């Protein structure tokens, strides 16, 4: 089937779609977090590269260093989805 539209997805939309896919598949991969799936890592990589390109386009100093850092992908994985609540309901003390 031929692709008839010339419109492309923006990096932000691609990242969002990849993160949603990661959240959907992670529960099926017992013990694997969404950000550790191929989709989750791809989303983070695209986000890091897009950020590096924005900084370079805005005239950041040492653009080669920014590009190298984005390509090395050494930053820790960012959590995907809403953070888990750490609020614990306190119980009333016994009298």
Counting beta carbons within 10 angstroms of the beta carbon of residue 6, is it exposed (0 to 12), middle (13 to 18) or buried (19 or more)? Answer: exposed
Inside any domain, residue 63: yes
Tell me if the pTM is above 0.75. Answer: no
Range of the domain at 39: 11-72
Inside any domain, residue 5: no
pLDDT by 10-residue block (mean), the chain, 95 residues: 74 95 94 94 94 95 93 85 62 66
Whose tokens are 């949603």? That residue is 20
Task: Please say whether the beta carbons of 67 and 52 come within 8 A.
Answer: yes
Spatial separation of the C-alpha atoms in residues 23 and 79, rounded to whole Å = 11
Inside any domain, residue 3: no
Inside any domain, residue 2: no
Q: Which residues contact 48 (CB under 8 A, 6 or more apart)?
A: 70, 73, 75
Q: Which residues contact 60 (CB under 8 A, 6 or more apart)?
A: 66
Inside any domain, residue 4: no
Inside any domain, residue 22: yes
- When divided into structural domains, the chain yields a total of 1
């Amino acid at each position: 089937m031929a692709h008839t539209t010339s419109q492309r997805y923006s990096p932000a939309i691609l990242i969002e779609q990849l993160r949603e896919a990661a959240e959907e598949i992670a529960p099926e991969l017992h013990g694997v977090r969404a950000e550790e799936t191929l989709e989750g890592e791809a989303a983070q990589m695209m986000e890091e590269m897009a950020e590096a390109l924005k900084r370079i386009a805005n005239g950041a100093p040492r653009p080669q260093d920014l590009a190298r850092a984005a390509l090395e992908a050494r930053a820790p994985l960012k959590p995907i989805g809403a953070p888990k609540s750490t609020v614990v309901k306190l119980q009333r003390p016994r009298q």
